[in-house]
Amino acid sequence: MGEGGFSCEYVYMAPDFVRAEEAAVSIWSHGFNYGTSVFEGIRGYWNASEGELYIFRLPEHLDRLRRSGRILGIKLPGDVPELTEFCCELVRRNRFQEDVYLRPVAYKGVPPELGVTLTHAPDHFLIYGFPLGEYLSRDRALRVCISSWQRISDNAAPARGKIGGTYVNPALAKTDAVERGFDECIMLTAQGTVAEGSTENLFLVQGGELITPSVTEDILVGITRDTIIELAESAMELKVTERIVDRSELYVADECFFCGTGAEVSGIGEIDGRQIGDGGVGPVTRQIQGLYRKVVRGTLEKYRRWCTPAYKPT
């Protein structure tokens, strides 16, 4: 059951699992009216040869959810191991045997009276999931523009937390880009330096080195970003530098690519009409893509620690 292309039978709404058609959030809830929610996007990958669905870096995602909740004063109904089991049970109840996307959401419920104050609204928690394939193209290089919408700053509404209400910022930017014929956009900080894509972190390849904006550049401190840094350094012996990146550096880079839970690793062939490299997915990007695909499906023993099996006990 589902709506708008989403499909699942069961949803977890703390403290119980319910059928998807019975799941409901009150129109009076603080989270619905003011965007006072935090969430995670988590991918699970079906490994057909093992008959197992591996949820990628699940504890890290749930720990980030906990930290995002601290920004809004939202407490989760359990620790990371308990929340991990809720996610695995959701997969089992829905009998997913394909690549999936899980979305845990913690939000403020119905307050005793109208107002934006967070203090008295109760905390609620839910998890839903659905099959998901490709979010951005992995094989075709993307056409990208620099957005006229500025990345929201940490001192306004921190991007380091996945806060529901702040996603109006990338929503405006991505919609503008798509309506202008681009696949995606890159957002700049208030200082005019590079932040990230609408919902993806960004890497440049220059002279065999990976460069990515630092965590102080109003970015989401991405789990896929962290994965790429470790893989590049440990498996590919590439130097990775986190620093301020100027807009013009994008135009002269050898390669550029996005990364994220949804985007995975997606190459960029054009920015603002300027060809990047040869205009296709670059060789370093291709190598990272291939390595990442093996890692997330649990086929490389060295990185199996990142893969939580949903069907077999850990």
Residues labelled catalytic: 162
Q: Where are the beta strands (DSSP E) in 88-239?
A: 100-108, 123-131, 142-146, 184-188, 194-197, 201-206, 209-213
d(CA 182, CA 259): 17
**Of 201, 190, 191, 184, the residue nearest 146 (C-alpha):** 184
Indicate the DSSP class of residue 209. E
Mapped onto helix, strand or coil, the DSSP state of residue 190 is coil
Indicate the DSSP class of residue 59. H
- Give Cα 18 distance to the centre of its chain: 26
In angstroms, what is the C-alpha Rg of the chain?
20
Residue ranges of alpha helices (H) inside the chain are 30-34, 58-72, 80-94, 168-179, 223-234, 247-252, 283-296
**Of 44, 27, 31, the residue nearest 73 (C-alpha):** 31
